[in-house]
Amino acid sequence: MNKQTAEGNWNEMKGKIKQKYGQLTDDDLTYAEGKEDEMWGKVQQKVGKTKEEIQREFNN
């Protein structure tokens, strides 16, 4: 998967996450290379779920 495809996939996922969890901001969901764990940590704190739980909700 190239960088452009990965960014497109993330942007789609980010939109779905924001729709479901309105308390999340763009800053919470900003993906920066090498900072993925930090971003997921912010999301987990705000929604009270693990990364895997959140991903499962959108992969069904």
pLDDT digits (tens, 9 = 90+) for 30-42: 877 778 888 889 8
- Structurally, the chain folds into a number of domains equal to 1
Please give the model's pTM, rounded to 2 decimal places. Answer: 0.65
pLDDT tens track for 2-34 = 666 666 778 888 888 889 998 988 888 887 777
Report d(CA 22, CA 32) in Å as an integer.
21
- In terms of residue numbers, what domain contains 9? 3-58
Contact 5, 19 (CB under 8 A): no
Helices 36-47 & 51-58 angle (0-180, nearest 10):
80
Instruction: From residue 7, give the alpha-carbon distance in Å to each of 32, 35, 38.
Output: 10, 14, 17
Whether the pLDDT of residue 48 is over 80: the answer is yes
pLDDT value, residue 14: 85
